[in-house]
Amino acid sequence: MPQNDLSDRVAALNARYRHHSATSVLAHALGDAQAGRLALVSSFGAESVVLLHMVAVTRPETPVIFIDTEMLFAETLVYQQELAERLNLRDLRIIRADPADLRRDDPDDTLHRRDTDACCTLRKTLPLQRALGDFDGWITGRKRYQSGTRAALDFFEIEEGTDRIKVNPLAHWAREDIRTYMEENRLPRHPLVSKGYPSIGCMPCTTPVREGEDPRAGRWRDNDKSECGIHIVNGRVIRKGVSA
């Protein structure tokens, strides 16, 4: 689709749903021809259960894409299985890196020690881009409060460098909204949250967060990195102050 047409479509969607709630935006997006065919991309991390629950009660047949980097915490894998069953997710798609790519680029599973960006590209970004090839857009859990670069985040946006859209139903939510929604719907928390992991990624690159630290401080600690590469701004990975 020509970029101008896509821009017009995204602008129209934002105008149409500007004053709607998160649940309403999600429900309408999943049924709006202007939004196209959508998938929810979920890490099954600390806050993921909110959108997973919204999808489950709105349209449980929505495709849910889970990227198994094969370096995740065992707790994340168990949590993913338990949530999928509890929420009756009917189209869960577990994706992984191409085995040939792994044999070529990371045969001994040590790439993360030498080049974290290359590891994230190999195990996250490339598999996701392949999985999204059949979709017109995808649903994310991005929120305005997460960083200054997201302060003007809209419900709908164009994915950088593609002709797909991103849908951000929680764009206007605060941390308190996440906590309230989970409590009101009695949703289970990721087991690592109570152990000091407010942001959870791959096991080799995630550490507990100390009191007073930023919730993302445990991701790629001591590295000039804060994004895995799935969310790109202005054609590049944002290094500081951005959470996935």
Residues belonging to the active site: 228
**Residue 100 neighbours by CB under 8 Å, 6+ apart:** none
As to burial, measured by CB atoms within 10 angstroms (0-12 exposed, 13-18 middle, 19+ buried), residue 127 is buried
Please, are residues 137 and 25 in contact by the beta-carbon 8 Å criterion?
Answer: no
Strand order in the sheet with 92-95: 92-95, 64-67, 38-42, 137-139, 165-167, 156-158
Phi, psi of 42 (to 5 degrees): -130, 140
- In this structure, the chain runs to a length of 244
